[in-house]
Amino acid sequence: MDYKRIQNTRVLVTGGAGFIGSNLCEDLLKYNNEVVCLDNFATGRVENITEFLNHPKFTLVVGDIRNLEDCKKAMEGVEIVLQQAALGSVPRSLNDPTTTNSVNISGFLNVLIAARDEKVKRVVYAASSSTYGDSPNLPKVEDVIGLPLSPYAVTKYVNELYAHVFAINYGLDIVGLRYFNVYGRRQNPNGAYAAVIPKFTMQLMAHETPHINGDGSNSRDFTYIDNVIQMNHLAALWDRKSNLSGAKPALSGVEGAIVFNTAVGDRNDLNMLVNYLKQYLSEFDPAIANVEIKYGPNRQGDIPHSLASIEKAQNLMGYNPSHNLQMGLKEAVKWYWENLK
């Protein structure tokens, strides 16, 4: 898909060995960028970046965003920062709010301080749809949010507040991307906090019964990784001075930080999701069509429905999602079958 991409630039990807970060590193290397990856491998995996380790324009810095010196070391000579490092998962944050707070707030603050001190041109950071909290409004529009429903959601909201404060006080150029249920190649299917799509995919491939939280009617704006990559490129290169006329940035005036929903602008419920997964996986193994699905209680801290308005990103940055759920799932399922079966 044709859109403006970062090229010939030194870029730092924090959390670059993670699911989203490693996909960003891979894509950036295609366009002659110097890519610095900062990761402590708490959730990132070395196998996600193995194919880049010997690339002449790829540098791995093993470090932690909770350490300011690690951030400053990784940021030397960098023009653009794509801040992906975070501790995700609502259930993880409920079980261990202290660590989630330390990584997502203290770590994020260190990234902003280092970016300010190293005079980085722009920071694009991973915000979250969890910031909408208990707001019942659908679709979700950037400047209307509710109260957070989990420690994780609190941390991602605080990120937006800090971004605003650094923008208006230090002149740091910051753009936030509120990710909506991102999925795709390299997303880890294992562990207690695995996301639903890779987890269900691996269970179905093993003929194991997936368990849906609730009755399957909860819906999400599932967003394929290629749409997220596009938004990071667009946000990094967006000419905000000539494109903010008439816009109402969330949490700020025109001179502050700004956030964009990063999604498809469509929602599918969990029953539909599982049906798609069974359909596409059955092309590799017909027996998967007969795997039973079971249901359980709703998960604490979850919202029933999520749907993004993507008008702001479309109007200001020319965002045009390349993959809807069906297209993305077909590619994701093929990747899991070929790489993890």
- What's the CATH code of the domain at 65? 3.40.50.720
Q: Based on the structure, what is the number of domains in the chain?
A: 1
Residue 301 lies in a domain: no
Using alpha carbons, select from 233, 230, 258, 229 the residue that is nearest to residue 243.
258
Range in 214-223, 256-265, 296-305 the model is least confident about: 296-305
Residue 284 lies in a domain: no
Which residues form the domain of 51? Answer: 10-188+221-265+308-322
How buried is residue 245: exposed, middle or buried, by Cβ count under 10 Å (0-12/13-18/19+)? exposed
Residue 273 lies in a domain: no
pLDDT of 254 above 60 = no
Mean pLDDT computed over 36-50: 96
pLDDT tens digit sequence for 180-237: 999 999 999 887 777 899 999 999 999 999 999 889 999 999 999 999 999 999 999 9
Degrees, nearest 5: CA angle 63-27-115: 40
**Whole-prediction pTM:** 0.93
pLDDT tens digit sequence for 57-110: 999 999 999 999 999 999 999 999 999 999 988 889 999 999 999 999 999 999
> Which amino acids are annotated catalytic?
152
